[in-house]
Structure 1
Amino acid sequence: MSEDMRRSVREAENAVFPDGILTEDGIIRRVGSFDALRKEAPEAEVFDYGNGTILPGFIDGHSHLSAVAYSMILFNAKPSPSGNCDTPEQLIEEAKKFLRTITLEPGQWFLGLGYDNAVFPGERHLTRQELDQISTEIPIAITHVSGHLCAVNTKAMELYGYDKPGCDVPAGGEVDASGLLKEEAFLSPAKASVVKGPSPAQLMKALEQASDYYASFGITTMQDGKVRKGELELLKAAGRAGAIRGDVVIYLAPETAEEYLPKQNPAENLYESHCRLGGAKIFLDGSPQGKTAWLSMPYHIVPEGQPEDYCGMPVQEEQDVREFFEKCIRNRWQVNVHANGDAAIEQMLRCYEYALMDTKKGSGGNENLRPVVIHCQTVRREQLTRMAKLGMTASFFLDHVYYWGDYHYSSVLGAERASVISPLRWAEEEKIPFTLHQDSPVVEPNILFSIHNAVNRRTKEGRVLGENQRISVLEALEAVTVHGAYQIFEEGSKGAIEPDRRADFVVLEKNPLETLPEEIKDIRITATVKDGRIIYER
């Protein structure tokens, strides 16, 4: 990001804010005095937001729009306050109730999202025997809140082909006899194709609801990460039908990128019916709360059955990662890389550096493609320095501090390492244009709550986790506006309220810069405007 862009945002702290914005055909034409703009365009329609604060529309740093749509029609297995499943017993009872309210087609699976073993007694996972209490005839799969683990019943184990000793498990995955599947054991294309979920008609309606849901949090540009062919076609159809009212930037799974992603600079990929292909997405490890993230040092408390030096695991072979990065660089694809653990981040740095050197020996394709480290939970300071030199950006899942900070402190990482998860202050000092995200549907896409957490860094139990990694309110607002636009190559059209940019706004009842830090989470969204049209109003 240029210093001019950074300086222009910081000048906002001392600026006298204009009270009028003139838009035409979805574009900002003038910004200034309302009275002067009214004289210039006397026939213009007027929207008066009173004493509200108008900011650029929030830009999602990373999430899964399709999965959010799924979550709206699947069983909610989350604990309170997002659900009612604080124990395995409660989850089983809630699932039985849900099963009685729905009609599944022949062969359709009972699917649930969001169980969290961190709140269960003894931090244990669900077992297939427990899920068999819901049904032994219907295949059941309940995904962990991280999205990297999945508990299944006996029927699902059979359909996956995991019901016999010595079964074939995809590379990068693990299967426990209890019915717990890890990573590629259920995420690989071959295994994902086994699952029969909701119908396209159900999903189309759910995508419309999901789009509206994002808008209710002030988000005008969403993301959908690691999209496969079926989801891509559904997103395009939803866009053409007018079901998606905000913009969505789509990152494709590697096998889908080969077929659909054009070989051109990401900035040249244009929107069609609010959908745009942003690049490709790859996973290098799992999740810290699921204890599958790949760390350089052992987990504070290793999972049961693992050796004392257990550090999680990679999910990709080194050579495969190098070759994929080379392909991205040669094809001029931006790549989003899921990397939570510092060992996974090290693998990304190592392989991307190698790929850059290798492509320089050949022909072209070496311009700055802004590769994004997604989640970046346990990144080390020296790794941030290397990321900056490589032109990488980071998107931090900062809400971990609130939702799982106490668990990281006591079980996952221990006090010292937990205090520097999502080190925003270090990233700011290294001048990395980072963004914030919620990885929805892992948690709701509440941008203001992420800003609150970045400023306060307080856990559920009230512990301040890494006071020296706090950032200012303005820096957090940068992350979800101007930095968000830069990350997706749209800094010329989004991220600021200036002439010739999209008329994308969020209207807040209070100014976050004038609100007590501990009260930012309570600010309400008044309206969300996309291309000059209201897409949400309280």
Structure 2
Amino acid sequence: MNRKLYYNGQILTMDDRYHSPEAVLTENGRIMALGRTEELKTIGRDAEQVDLEGAAMLPGFIDGHSHLTAAAYQLLMVNVNPSPTGRCNSVEELVEEGIRALAQTHLEDGQWFMGMGYDNSVYPDGKHPTREDLDKISRDIPVSMMHVSGHLCVVNTKAMELLGYGGSGYEVPEGGVVQPDGLLKEQAFLAPHKQKLMQGPGPDQVLKAVGRASRLYASYGITTAQDGRTTRSDYELLKAAGAAGLLKNDVISYMAVDCAKEFLPRQYPALNGYMNHYRPAGCKIYLDGSPQGKTAWLSQPYLVPPDGQNEEYRGFPVMESEDVFQVMETCIRNHWQINVHANGDEAIEQMIRCYTKALKAVEHPEKLRPVVIHCQTVREDQLDRLKGIGMLPSFFLDHVYYWGDYHFESVLGPERAERISPAASAVKRSMSFTLHQDSPVVPPNILFSIHNAVNRKTKNGMVLGEEQRVPVIEALKAATVYAAYQIFEEENKGSITPGKLADFVILDQNPLKADKETLKDIKVLRTIKEGEDIL
């Protein structure tokens, strides 16, 4: 019997039935009791005593949406992010970093040299790199540099040829765009048959990187991570990582449609159990791109259209509505939860319309908690309809900090930019919602997302949408109790409640007592998964 008694801390249970207990007693990875320290010492006489030394204990953080396998791959790529997460603040610095990194990298025969994280929105002229720029890194080795959003990619001339985009008259996958200067959008490089051509690191390297990614997530207090849009190869990778003991936190995956049809059990989501800390959770599709990449599908034009587009440009859809409806109907009939990437309000409209149609097509449909991932420009009338059909928004609040100024000045303009990720509007409607970082787009720092939900300050210090700020307690719920509900795990996770898993994060400050402006500075001291330290 493995018992532990945690005491002398500030315990935030996130369960209204248990206010500020003095201590928590766990047994065999589950919470046994809450209460006064002396009483629990009597109950758990043989328990290992853990002095929290005044630190704050919360339920372990639950990832609202990210891509753990992609985060693993990113660890094997050159970092071309701008500051503060990288040092490439211009095209010239990206090229210099690429040349430096390539000289230090051993590539196998046929392997591509890959980078991730470039962000043209911070460059002096706002221009994307071109294939001619990447040719300066190498003309003989295929080179690709992925945009920070993950929805755009620039490749060199060699890579263009290998992808079948050399010369003229080539065929571009539906939902993709190829520009002659080497900029590829959406399915032009994300389509499975194109991804297979972009040969990355070997399987042994990738498997070890999954373990590193798991530890990275744990360093931010995350006890349940997510892999959003798991392919067949990702599925096999996560299973292998679990079997090898590399997954320190739980990992759930929302599968690409083809993968779901092959591997996702046709049963109510809550019945999908874990094996070696991994479980398939549902299905994932994309309906548009990203606002910072100006590929999100909007109902109104972009403030400043991208190069080559007219003033009426509103982005574009990735899927036809009939195809979206068919996927959603399949999900409902198979008892699958669906997560849908939808940034623009027109993409969100497509999701609402198609899911509503699918609900009507199925007799006695279950409440499967479909999730709108990102939900950046959702309108007030759309939130009303989301609530009406049981859809849950997951907000990417870090956009306010990283791209808020760009949204205000170039992407959306002041009125729409001030409403991106309108979490307060969800609170007013008593809607369950979550926060996410879309890692590897930005680091999986949930405390920073909580900070951004509460403060909504841009990188340049502008408050963007003051009326959309939320109280600290609501932001904490979005990373714990609401997040557990989103993934059908509210019976086991999300709060410090007797009977639930002993998943905790220990912080050096109590977020409810800390200065709101310094929430981002709170440190994770320990991350505990089922009673065992994983950080």
TM-score range relative to shorter protein: over 0.9
Please say if residues 388 and 431 of structure 1, whose CA atoms lie closer than 8 Å, have aligned partners that are also in contact: no
Rounded Cα–Cα distance in structure 2 between residues aligned with 1:210 and 1:304? 36
Report the AA paired with residue 383 of structure 1: Q
Please say if residues 10 and 474 of structure 1, whose CA atoms lie closer than 8 Å, have aligned partners that are also in contact: no
**Which one is further off, 94-103 or 472-481?**
94-103
Report the equivalent of 2:399.
Answer: 400
Report the equivalent of 2:10.
Answer: none
Rounded Cα–Cα distance in structure 1 between residues aligned with 2:145 and 2:230? 20
- Name the SS of the counterpart of 1:21 in structure 2: strand
Matched, 1:387 2:382: no
- Name the SS of the counterpart of 1:191 in structure 2: helix
- Name the SS of the counterpart of 1:289 in structure 2: coil
Cα 1:216–1:9 shift into 2, 3 Å: closer
The 5 A counterparts of 1:129-528 are 129-360=132-363, 364=364, 366-528=365-527
What's the CA shift for 1:164?
2.0
What's the CA shift for 1:10?
7.5
Please say if residues 392 and 432 of structure 1, whose CA atoms lie closer than 8 Å, have aligned partners that are also in contact: no
Rounded Cα–Cα distance in structure 1 between residues aligned with 2:307 and 2:162? 27
2:130 aligns with one of 89, 113, 127? 127
Rounded Cα–Cα distance in structure 2 between residues aligned with 1:255 and 1:162? 26
Residue deviations 1:434-456, cap 9 Å, x none?
00000001000111111111011
Report the AA paired with residue 102 of structure 2: L
Please say if residues 269 and 278 of structure 1, whose CA atoms lie closer than 8 Å, have aligned partners that are also in contact: yes
Please say if residues 75 and 95 of structure 1, whose CA atoms lie closer than 8 Å, have aligned partners that are also in contact: yes
Rounded Cα–Cα distance in structure 2 between residues aligned with 1:61 and 1:270? 19
Rounded Cα–Cα distance in structure 2 between residues aligned with 1:351 and 1:146? 26
Aligned residues: 523
Please say if residues 250 and 278 of structure 1, whose CA atoms lie closer than 8 Å, have aligned partners that are also in contact: yes
Rounded Cα–Cα distance in structure 2 between residues aligned with 1:513 and 1:123? 39
Rounded Cα–Cα distance in structure 2 between residues aligned with 1:16 and 1:367? 34
Report the equivalent of 1:3.
Answer: none
Identity %: 56
What's the CA shift for 1:84?
1.1
Rounded Cα–Cα distance in structure 2 between residues aligned with 1:400 and 1:515? 23
Rounded Cα–Cα distance in structure 1 between residues aligned with 2:199 and 2:23? 51
Residue deviations 1:72-124, cap 9 Å, x none?
11110101111111011111111111111110000000111100000112110
Report the equivalent of 1:5.
Answer: none
CA RMSD of aligned residues (A): 1.0
Please say if residues 14 and 496 of structure 2, whose CA atoms lie closer than 8 Å, have aligned partners that are also in contact: no
Report the equivalent of 2:104.
Answer: 101
Rounded Cα–Cα distance in structure 2 between residues aligned with 1:175 and 1:299? 20
Report the AA paired with residue 534 of structure 2: I
Rounded Cα–Cα distance in structure 1 between residues aligned with 2:475 and 2:312? 36
Residue deviations 1:121-155, cap 9 Å, x none?
21100100010111111111110000000000001
Please say if residues 15 and 495 of structure 2, whose CA atoms lie closer than 8 Å, have aligned partners that are also in contact: no
- Name the SS of the counterpart of 1:454 in structure 2: helix
Report the AA paired with residue 281 of structure 2: G
What's the CA shift for 1:11?
4.0
What's the CA shift for 1:16?
4.8
- Name the SS of the counterpart of 2:283 in structure 1: strand
- Name the SS of the counterpart of 1:46 in structure 2: strand
**TM-score if structure 1 supplies the norm length?**
0.96
2:113 aligns with one of 95, 110, 114? 110
Rounded Cα–Cα distance in structure 2 between residues aligned with 1:165 and 1:390? 47
- Name the SS of the counterpart of 2:217 in structure 1: helix
Report the equivalent of 1:4.
Answer: none
Report the equivalent of 2:7.
Answer: none
Rounded Cα–Cα distance in structure 1 between residues aligned with 2:143 and 2:258? 27
